[in-house]
Structures are given as structure tokens and as C-alpha cells.
Amino acid sequence: MTFSVLIILIAVAVTGFLGVSMLRIRRTDTPTAAYDLNVYREQLASVDRDLARGVIGEADAERVRTEVSRRILAADAQMRGEKDSAGPSRGVTWTAMVVMAAVLIGGALLMYRQMGAAGFPDMPLSARLELAEDLRENRPAQAEAESLAQQPQVPELDENYAALLTQLREAVAQRPDDLQGQMLLAQHETNAGNFRAGYEAQQRVLELTGDTASAETYADLGEMMILAAGGYVSPEAEEALRQALERDPAYGPARYYWGQMLAQVGRPDLAYRVWVDTLRDSPAGAPWVQAIRGQIDDLAFRAGVFNAPDMSAAPGPSQEDMQAATEMTPEERQEMIQGMVDQLSDRLATEGGSPDEWARLIAALGVLGQAQRAIDIRNEAEAVFAGNTEALQIIDAAALQAGIAK
């Protein structure tokens, strides 16, 4: 209610400012042409004075009088026209103001009704975080999500492939403890579009592998569950992803789906950070990288990030660039390498980056013979990745390669 009143008041204020401008039409008692008439009359008197003093002849005086008289007639006609044109009446002006106010107020309310949250109370950040946590804890389970999800149409299988899949199912049913058979069954059921059967076989794979299960195995289980639920990340799928990330925090597919889960439970801010870090740490051609790039702009908007760094893939050197590099002198090639190193250094300083990127910069500076700068970058990287043992090992290896190891 308060917001609606505020919209109305702002619209009325805008209408008032515009209305004042409309009402302030210049109305003067003396038309503009009246000033011209006074000038022309003075010119006629001046002609008579010049004729009396003998400055001009009678013929010239008569010619000037004729021209000035013509101008007087024209100015008189213009003055009468200005008097007849009094501008729009005040009634018309007030009507225009009322229409303008109706358009502004009605348009603002209609836009808010379409794009806003009419009737929704103010919600501080703490309440939103509580709501997101409640949504995460009480969201539908896997079975319920599957029943609500629109299942994709299962593609028609080739007869030979369908026969082989039937044989595989029968063989696995006879030997339920066959790990290799369960892995094949999970893979082919998923390929055939039978996602529920696929993740059930994958669950059996996890039971057989026990504590030796890899991050990939858990991530595959989570992905199969997500596919079965139509893209929804259920609590069961979240647990599978959690197990995958505990075993390998840098595993790309698990990080992608983890970000998707956070976005679904009302935490696009956390999801955006996860996806940005995943992009920085992943190879450019990874399939999950393309999936993230297609959605990260929308996620940044939802997260309230309006100055997001450019996460587009950096283009590699073209064939022409490589040919030009071979034709450079050693000095030119050194200058080109220095420019690339400076660009990487600036990006890491402003946007951050993965341990591999920091390591690449340290090694490059060592090759360029800039030992002190390499030491400074190493110290900065150690501060950035303090407590991350794996990242620090990568940094130490680069420092050793650059000849600046401690």
C-alpha cells in the first residue's frame, strides 16, 4: 500500500512540474510587432527632419516613406494576428494535465502490477535468507519431484540396441553384485532416456564400491537424479553432489549442478560465485563451461551483479597471429610476450583467477628474468590461497620453475 501511494505522489509531482510549464504561456500586453511599429514611425519622422535640413532630396524622401509605410502595414497585420492567437485556453490546459496524470499514474501502477510484487510485504535481507534456507530444507524429495516433472519423450531405440539393452538388464538381474554390469546398466539406461532406472543402477554401483567410490561416480548419480526430475535438484541429488565435491572440490560437473541447486533455492548470489569460480578453473572446451556461459548473465542479474566481469571465452591466437609471431625479431617477440604477461597480471589483480593462472604468471615472469616481480606475485598468490594446500602446491611448483623457490 505504501509503495502504491508513493507511486501516485511521484506521478502527481511530475504532472505538476509539466503542468506549470504548460500554464506559463507568455502573455504580454504589447505584441512583438508593436515594437516594430514604433521603430518605423521614428524612421518616418527622421526622413522629414533630413528633408528639412537638406540632407536628402524630395525624391529620395518619398521613396523611403513608401518603403517604411509598406513595413508599417505588414507590422500592423502581424500585430492583429498575435492578438487573435491567444494560445490554448486554461480549460484545455487543465484537461491535458488531468489526462497526463492519469497516464502517468495508471501506467506506473500497471507496470508494477506486471513486473513487481503487488501486495507482497517488504522483506529485509535476513528474512530473505531465512526463506531461502526454509525452501532448501523443505523442498520436494526426489520421488515427488519426479511425479510432478514433465518427463521427456523417450527416443525410439534401434532394434539391435534395444535387444542388447534387454539382455543387459536380464544379465544384471541375475548377477546383482556384478559391479561392471551395474555400471554399464546405469550408463545405457541413462543413454536410452530411462533416467530413473539409470540412477537406481548407479546407486547399486555406489553400494558395491563403498568408501572407494570416486567423485565422478557420485556426480553421475546426482546428474541422473536431476535429469529424472526434469532439471530439479532434489535433496537426494544435493547429497550426491556434496559427496562428489568432498572427494574432489574442483570437479566441474558437480560444481555446475551445485550452482544450479543454489539458484533454485533462492540463493543466486552464492550460485553466481560458484559458477564464476568454476569458469575460471575449468578448461575452455568443457561441456559444463558452455552450459554456464549460456546462463550466467541471467544469474548475474538475479544476484544483483550489474558490473560482472567479462566471462566470455578468451579467443586464441589466429593462424595469421602465429605466422606473424614467427616473422618477428627477438625484440618484437619479447615485447609481445611482455604484453600478454601484463594483461594476465592486470586481470588477476582486478578479477582474481585460478591457482593455475597465478602459477602461469609466476613461471612467465621467471622466463622473462623479472625475478623480483615474480617473487611479489608469488607472495600475493600465497596470501590469496592461504589455507588451500593444493593451490599452494601449484604455486610452489611454479616458483621452483621460475627459480624463486623459498
CATH number, position 269? 1.25.40.10
182 and 236 share a domain? yes
pLDDT of res. 325: 53
Number of folded domains in the chain? Answer: 3
Q: Check residue 154 and report its DSSP letter.
A: P
Residue 139 lies in a domain: no
pTM of the model: 0.53
Lowest mean pLDDT among 3-7, 88-92, 172-176, 217-221: 88-92
Percent of the chain with pLDDT over 70: 79
Judge whether residue 370 has pLDDT over 90.
no
Per-range mean pLDDT, top range of 4-13, 53-62, 107-116: 53-62
187 and 81 share a domain? no
The whole-angstrom separation of Cα 78 and Cα 3 is 53
Judge whether residue 183 has pLDDT over 60.
yes
- 355 is in which domain, residue-wise? 319-402
Judge whether residue 312 has pLDDT over 70.
no
Lowest mean pLDDT among 81-85, 153-157, 179-183, 239-243: 81-85
268 and 341 share a domain? no
Residue 260 lies in a domain: yes
Residue 310 lies in a domain: no
Q: Taking a C-beta distance cutoff of 8 angstroms, is the pair 15, 40 a contact?
A: no
Whose CA is closest to 267, among 295, 232, 299?
299
The whole-angstrom separation of Cα 277 and Cα 357 is 12
Q: Across residues 366-376, what is the average pLDDT?
A: 81
Whose CA is closest to 145, among 235, 229, 240?
229
| Polymer length of the chain | 406
Whose CA is closest to 146, among 188, 189, 195, 183?
195
36 and 109 share a domain? yes
253, 271, 302: which is the final residue of a domain?
A: 302
Residue 51 lies in a domain: yes
114, amino acid identity:
Q
The whole-angstrom separation of Cα 99 and Cα 107 is 12
52, 80, 115: which is the final residue of a domain?
A: 115
Q: Taking a C-beta distance cutoff of 8 angstroms, is the pair 259, 298 a contact?
A: no
Task: Categorize the per-residue pLDDT at 400 as very low, low, confident or very high, splitting at 50, 70 and 90.
Answer: confident
pLDDT of res. 203: 95
Residue 28 lies in a domain: yes
Judge whether residue 180 has pLDDT over 80.
yes
SS3 283: coil
10 and 76 share a domain? yes
72 and 198 share a domain? no
Tens digit of each residue's pLDDT (9 = 90 or more) over 235-271: 999 999 999 999 999 999 999 999 999 999 989 989 9
Residue 311 lies in a domain: no
175 and 272 share a domain? yes
pLDDT of res. 81: 67
336 and 277 share a domain? no
289 and 353 share a domain? no
Average pLDDT over the chain reads 80
Residue 153 lies in a domain: no
pLDDT of res. 315: 42
115, 133, 152: which is the final residue of a domain?
A: 115
Residue 373 lies in a domain: yes
227 and 346 share a domain? no
The whole-angstrom separation of Cα 240 and Cα 215 is 9
168 and 195 share a domain? yes
Whose CA is closest to 402, among 366, 378, 373?
366
164 and 282 share a domain? yes
- The CA R_g of the chain, rounded to the nearest whole Å, is 40
